[in-house]
A and B are shown apart, each in its own frame.
Chain A
């Protein structure tokens, strides 16, 4: 990447900002999942519901983790580009 190209730097900054917004969005989705407790309905169906909600939460947790990694790497690349400009 050309370190002095301002358009490319802007796109990189946009990527960081968009990833941060996406992390917040997926995190909010994860927190809004229905409670996975089976106190209100019991038996095998309650257990299956509980497991499915737990698995969904884990999957969303993985997505947040990978998006955070993408954001961190993009931020690092942006820092490198900005340092090159100076």
Chain B
């Protein structure tokens, strides 16, 4: 298990700009210490004047004076070197980011081109592929041992959890998801120039959200993934609470059980009340909507940007908690909860002072630049990859690889578990990266804040 965090300023910058940033931060401290040291040395130098030096019978003081002159030259040279190194680091950070972004753009272009080609070629291959697909499907449906087949698949998934937790698989999945609109364009025979202009790589008019809408449209015809109205009720009484002590604390406060929403209110004398909203991930993995709005239907609706049941549930809870449009609010969410948080932040309906998402498929949600966003993603977690490619440089993306060797034998995405993200958030609390510390300062309600917390349950109607 690795404790290394990679923090980048958005996009898919893979260079450890956090390492460069931390080095620059240290060098800035070194630089100011050296300036202070030179000032101190000048003061020491003035203590014994030239008259005393020549009056001194021994050569001791003169030798000390010469040594101090040498030391001053060395300190001055060190100070100059530090300044030059700081300039070089800043240039390196900018250049690395530009180069990585250019490489990523090229990779997206190539994958979009290939996906479009596969989409165009698929109808030609259908006569050969269809009988195979029909045969396999019929075999699965008609076999009397369907349950045994499902159990065998579950065992296979557990044994092969290394595959889905492989960072290379996660990158490949993100590429495929990011190019799914190009595949669709190829499939319906749209002119490639039009797709290039309207797609993710162009104006961004069609993309993952469009593809998700198509899937929803098809699924709805089969009675699956259908949205419903939702209702929300507070659970239990309000309880007194302390402000979160950091990112780890925020991650740990995200609900895990059946009650998916937690809202905290902090009162600071002379200031508007501050709110913290914590949103759980997917609870129900069925493709058919049941009672719980934190389900697969909401996942698809959320990616499609259609206002999912879970998002509407959180909005209702926020309204019941008395959060007004101008009240500062911090939204934290894991998995689907992060997608919901990002969608609410993107709407501009609330004054979101910070967004903290953990393993959320929210890369393509158009959150405005003025919302401070820390997005934590594990390299070996496939769920964030389902949200497509990062756009823009506004979110601060924190990456960590959870498993150095073999992942735990768990059936589905062991690196996606909330407790793994809590651990990463703990590491984040120890980061000196200025982007992280700046956000932490703005969301800290202060030690004088008094808070209450309440849970909210949500149901589909």
Q: Are B77 and A32 in contact (CB under 8 A)?
A: no
**Of B38-46, B246-254, B363-371, B439-447, the one touching chain A:** B38-46
1/0 contact string of A13-46 vs chain B (CB within 8 Å)? 0110011011001101100111000001100010
Mark each residue of chain B from 64 to 81: 1 if its CB lies under 8 Å from any CB of chain A, else 0: 110110110011011001
Q: B92 contacts which chain A residues (CB < 8 A)?
A: 45, 49
B60–A77 contact, CB under 8 A? yes
Instruction: Verify B67–A1 contact, CB threshold 8 A.
Output: no
By the criterion CB–CB under 8 Å, are B26 and A67 in contact?
no
Q: A59-B81, A69-B63, A77-B61 are in contact. Are A22 and B40 (CB under 8 A)?
A: yes
B30, B60, B78: which contacts A32 (Cβ < 8 A)? B30
User: By CB atoms of chain B within 10 A, which of A29, A41, A80 has the most?
Assistant: A29
In the complex, whether A63 has a CB less than 8 A from a CB of chain B is: yes
| Per-position binary interface string of chain A over residues 62-75, scored 1 when its CB falls under 8 Å from any chain B CB and 0 otherwise | 11001101110110
Query: A21–B40 contact, CB under 8 A?
Result: yes
Asked if A32 and B40 sit within 8 Å, CB to CB, the answer is no
CA distance A26 to B136 in the complex (A): 73
Residue on B nearest A25 in the bound complex, by CB:
B37
CB-based contact B20/A73 at 8 Å: no
Contact A56 B78 (CB under 8 A): yes
Q: With an 8 A cutoff between CB atoms, is A4 at the interface? A: no
Contact A34 B22 (CB under 8 A): yes
For A, the interface residue count at a CB cutoff of 8 angstroms equals: 41
CA distance in complex: A74, B122 (Å): 87
Say yes or no for B3: interface residue by CB 8 A criterion. Answer: no
Contact with A63, one of B4, B56, B78, B85 (Cβ below 8 angstroms): B78
Partner of B19 from A2, A33, A40 at Cβ < 8 Å: A40
Given contacts A34-B26, A73-B63, A80-B60, contact A59 B77 (CB under 8 A): yes
User: Is the CB–CB distance between B47 and A14 below 8 Å?
Assistant: yes
Query: Which residues does chain B contribute within 8 Å of A1, judged by CB atoms?
Result: 52, 55-57, 61
Contact between A55 and B63, CB atoms less than 8 A apart: no
Contact of A33 among B30, B52, B96 (CB under 8 A): B30
A18 to chain B, nearest CB (A): 4
Report Cα–Cα, A76/B70, bound state, in Å.
19
Q: Say whether A18 contacts B44, CB under 8 Å.
A: yes
Residues of B near A76 (CB, < 8 A) are: 58, 60
The smallest beta-carbon distance between A8 and chain B, in angstroms, is 6
Size of B's binding interface in residues, CB under 8 A: 47
Given A66-B71, A70-B71, verify A26-B37 contact (CB < 8 Å). Answer: yes
Quick check: is B23 within 8 A (CB to CB) of the other chain?
yes
Q: Which residues of B (73-106) have their CB < 8 Å from a CB of A?
A: 74-75, 77-78, 81-82, 84-85, 88-89, 92, 96
User: B74 near A74 (CB under 8 angstroms)?
Assistant: no
Measured between alpha carbons, how far is A53 from B78 in the docked complex, in Å? 10
Q: A77, B37: Cβ atoms under 8 Å? A: no
B71: chain A residues within 8 A (beta carbon): 63, 66-67, 70
CB distance from A28 to the nearest CB of B (A): 8
Determine if B34 is an interface residue (Cβ-Cβ < 8 Å).
yes
CB-based contact B40/A69 at 8 Å: no
Which of A28, A41, A45, A67 is the most central at the interface, judged by chain B CB atoms within 10 Å of its CB?
A67
Cβ of B9 to closest chain A Cβ, rounded Å: 16
**B319 proximal to A (CB < 8 A):** no
Cβ A73 vs Cβ B67 within 8 A:
yes
A71 to B71 Cα, complex, angstroms: 11
CA distance A15 to B70 in the complex (A): 16
Known contacts A66-B68, A67-B68, A76-B60, A29 near B44 by CB under 8 Å: no
Asked whether, in the complex, the Cβ of A59 is within 8 Å of the Cβ of B37, the reply is no
Residue of A nearest to B19 (CB): A40
Report the separation of the CA atoms of residues A1 and B29 in the bound assembly, to the nearest whole angstrom.
39
- Chain A contacts of B23 at CB under 8 A? 34, 49
20 residue pairs A–B, Cβ–Cβ below 8 Å: A1-B55, A1-B56, A14-B47, A25-B40, A34-B22, A40-B16, A45-B92, A48-B88, A49-B88, A53-B85, A59-B78, A60-B78, A63-B71, A66-B67, A66-B68, A66-B70, A67-B41, A67-B68, A74-B64, A77-B56
List the 5 closest A-B pairs by CB distance, nearest first: A73-B64, A77-B60, A63-B74, A70-B67, A66-B71
Q: B-contacting residues of A (Cβ < 8 Å)?
A: 1-2, 8, 11-12, 14-15, 18-19, 21-22, 25-26, 28-29, 32-34, 40-41, 45, 48-49, 52-53, 55-56, 59-60, 62-63, 66-67, 69-71, 73-74, 76-77, 80
* Given contact pairs A15-B48, A25-B40, A59-B77, a sample of 19 additional A-B residue pairs in the complex whose CB atoms are under 8 Å apart: A15-B44, A18-B43, A25-B37, A26-B37, A32-B29, A34-B27, A40-B16, A41-B16, A41-B20, A53-B85, A62-B70, A66-B67, A66-B70, A67-B67, A69-B67, A73-B63, A74-B60, A74-B61, A77-B61
